[in-house]
Structure 1
Amino acid sequence: MSSLDTTAISRPRIPDPISGYRLENLVGMGGMGEVHKAVQLSLGRTVAVKLLNPELAKDAAFVARFEKEAAALAALSHPNVVAIVDKGKTDSTYYLVMEFIEGPSLREQVRSPLLTPKESLRMMMEICRGVEYAHNRGVIHRDLKPENILFDQQAGGLAKVTDFGLASFLDDANSRFNLTSTHVSMGTLSYMAPEQRVDAKNADKRADIFSLGVILYELLTGEVPLGTFDPPSKAKPGIDERLDNIVARCLKPDPEDRYATVAELMAELEPLAPVLTSQPPQPLTRVQRIKVGARQVVRVVTQAVLTVIVLAALGVLGVAWHRSGEKPAPMMPGAALTSELGADAVRTLPGRLAKGTERRLLEAGEGPDPLSFLIAGRPVNIEGKALVFPPMEIDGHRHVGRAVADVVEMEGDIALLKADVLADGPPPTPYTRLRTLLDGPLPDPQVAIMLVGSTGRYVALVQEGSGAPLRLEWALGERRGTMLGQDSPKGTVHLEMEVDAEGMLRTFIGTGKDRRVIGEPLVLGREWQKQFGEVPRAAVGCIEGTCRVEGLSYSVKQAPPSGTSSTVAELTPRPTPVAKPVAKPAPPAKKPPAKAPPPSKGGKKK
């Protein structure tokens, strides 16, 4: 059976039967497997079932890491830690059953415009309580980040720490679960302590304290502290200056200079955090009831006046609202870029096409071959070697644009897609000012390189011009997901998306010595192109603002026969060697005639 049979997402996936559970729908996926919303039949309660990828289930190291997460969770029972319900094995893979958390992640909370410093500190105290409990039970997390913090809406928005897949046990008795090798870096780079980047095995609980410092800074300012950064009170007005020293101590490069325990960190945060009480309200006195009644009367009158003012304002803005139409429901960038954008227009760009027996290549921007692109949504200009999505016109309402290379004969097992991209905010115009007035601050511009197949099937690598995390998004049948990477630098960035012969999709930013991996690989499996419904094509897209894509290149190559090796690097086009003129050899020099040797002394005359 080929690996495609276990990872195919071009058709509905039939989950492995798990006794006692009914899988309902896929809610997420990552480097190790899938998470399904399910029902525990014995109790009729909703749970989350995490399935190890069947391909990885064949690897003993990955199975041990999966079992390690179960052991880590089983050792913990705390309101701020996601609880484990069960674990087991099917005929083809392993599974882990956890409580299902109905609510957003901390990543979504960080981006909320309603988040206040006091609310941030409340969240931080709950996160710290869960981590401190885990440390006291001998477990360090080693991958604390906003994606691994969930908020339980049914429990009043209680924060819960999850995903202990990289956890390490402090107790030597449990060393069988410690899978990290010495001098191996594991975790998420932006939230990782310096010592953990060098030697994850020997990183202790102070590495978690560093990660908590990064999370606290991001909660307060909305940014990740990279390189040289301002203290929180200077980065965002209104933040208590006492938090500057707390964050700075968490982020000390030397572990000895940080807090020794999370309890010490909580002791300094607690005086600044809002006080929550569970005491029942006391009955009001007669005087207090009179005061409350008077305030209610004033509030009702004030609300009536404000209602009249709002209705008048709505009447003035009604025409503008009618012209702008209904606001579309929020969509993921990849979904928006591959949605129905109207009829395609055709634009031609100089480029190069190479179709050999083993390798096929298209390069846009320079070359003797005209390349056709199907343009949908926003218009596209050709500026030298670049595809440019210009600012939207004043009467336009299309914020999304897409350009697909109209080259279909790109079949292969190994692929490499790359380009230099830039996303800029729109220039100030009457139209943008009107949108800001009606809709609030405009969304950040987004630019993407993509592989697109049949309708609704794609993989997109998205960059925001604001320095937000890079995003890998995919929708291939019923398997959909998003993976966030490190923050993107501002300005032009070089993005790459590669797939090897085993169907492992990896993404990169930068070139040469500055080339860095973005997130974890996405397991597609062999014959991965079939999962797109049709042979995938290279594409670029733009949402809001101005987007520029230059040096677009897409190469595919057939995998060599088994037993030989081939890498994605072989797809990088090399310059064709130019034959140099060969100089004619000079004629050999004529040798002077040989002289007769002189007669030897005493010789006889002939």
Structure 2
Amino acid sequence: MSSIDPTAISRPRSPDLISGYRLEKLVGTGGMGEVHKATQLSLGRTVAVKLLNQELAKDPSFIARFQKEAAALAALSHPHVVSIVDKGKTDATYYLVMEFVDGPSLRELIRQSQFDMMGALRRMLEICRAIEYAHGRGVIHRDLKPENILLDQQAGGIAKVSDFGLASFLDDASPSSRYALTSTHVSMGTLSYMAPEQRVDAKNADARADIFSLGVILYEWLTGEVPLGTFDPPSQRKPGLDARLDGIVTKCLKPDPEDRYPSVAALIADLELLVPGSLPSMLPVKQTRVQRFKAGVRKVVRTTMQATAVVMVLAASFVLATAFYLSGERRAASAPGATLMAYLGEPRIQPVPGREESNPERRRLTLGEGLAEQSLVVAGRPVTLEDKTLVFPWQDDEQSVGRVRVDVTRRDGDSLSLTAQLLTEAPPLTFERRLRDMFSLYQPSPPPTASMLLLGSTGRYVALVHNGVGEPLRLEWALGERRGAMLGIESPKAGPVNVELAVDAEGRLEAFLGTGKDRRALFEPLVLGAGWVEQFGDAPFPGFGCIEGACRVSGITYVLKQSPPGGTTAPVPPTPTPSPPKVAAAVPAKAVVPKKAPPPPPKKQPVKPAPKNGKRR
């Protein structure tokens, strides 16, 4: 149970808020409510009371989620799972009474400087056995992270898994089916610890999503870092670790669920080989007659489906072979960023209007308006400029990929920002296209895709990919040996999307969606370091790409900034100021005299007329 921040402000609770319990002190807060240390008056024992936030207690969905956590805990009785004691409702909110775990969370243990590999592996086995037991009871946690693992000091520091508020149930016939709160294509959990399939569709994620989260926890415990994109094996990040851990972690973190461990039991079997004297895994839970009947039915259905699948594979193989023969060529599927960076033919130079604004600290380029002519380096599909908008028009031919690079001449700076609006449109379903797709079953046409690019030297790039409305945005990068990809939040359901790629002077690359008050981060920052320009091979050019369909890019702005050098700005202004006076005094002295001569005559002229006027009188 995470300790509360000493600066947090919480409203005091009445000690006798819940009948039969006395609240002692607030020990933790979370997204759904508070956790108090309390005393159960009937037995005089210490317990933990979790109170649902009073505002959330008015929302039926949060009430159901709170009840769901109680149902999940009630279904589990394991030494490494926090047990439930009671649940109920007050006049203002709902509460759960749970076992009180007196000890730190795994997050606090990871932050300590000391590291005991054998101790970490033994506790990791305890966590895995708890999750194996939960899966055997039909419960998937879906929010495993160090904050939800508690270490019971009174029980010798054993690990206990808590917070089943986002759990799901494998058995649809269980009483908990009424708590099915997750909708299709909704992401639930903590981004850094979520499996790729859970980020896109949490409802359909199965037990292998928990295996991915266990792999992230194990990697962070061993190295102190969360694995992002293409990560180094643990033994390379921290010398001295057993190299066998590399294979275990890598198998847990496979993007495709089919490539991971098929069950937590298989993961435990590999971990036990690294921990001498570890206790054997727990025996499987004894099944009821109904559960055995359901297991038998599932086995029959699985066997039937496997036989059907074999027949379908044979039939599909014939169709695919025929399609391959008729099509005459085969395209290799690849990631959108790699597709855009492939060779698309000889580039063409295309001038377009633009505007450049520059000063010693900042350089700003706006494309599509202004009197300064800019050059586009076009490869693949043609590009037109329509009312300040770059357009990749759809052409029903073999060339479906187009790339544009804005040829910025000066790119000196240590931070940049590239913003634009992206819009994709599906190609028209003509008869010829339907016919071609029918004979391309082995390689379905990719969805229309627009991308914003930062282009370095050959083969080095960062791409922010938009696959159409309602689809998750994607970040890809290939910077030498550093390669990877991340899925982000879904794009808006309609209209263009406002996106931004930004790199600050410290080398933090971030992607954003929206503008103004609606601007929000899409992914976790990609840390490139202070020498980030070297990873691109050269200061990057702004660019855009389109795959299939039609793509429109508007509102293009590219900003380069140069941070002022530390300690050199103060002495620079005084040096130019004394030099101009010396030059002015030595050379244009004669030129200055005539400029000062006109003021004296006006002063003398009013004096001379006075005596003349007097004489006339």
TM-score (norm 1): 0.48
1 or 2 for the larger relative contact order (CA 8 Å, sep ≥6)? 1
TM-score (norm 2): 0.47
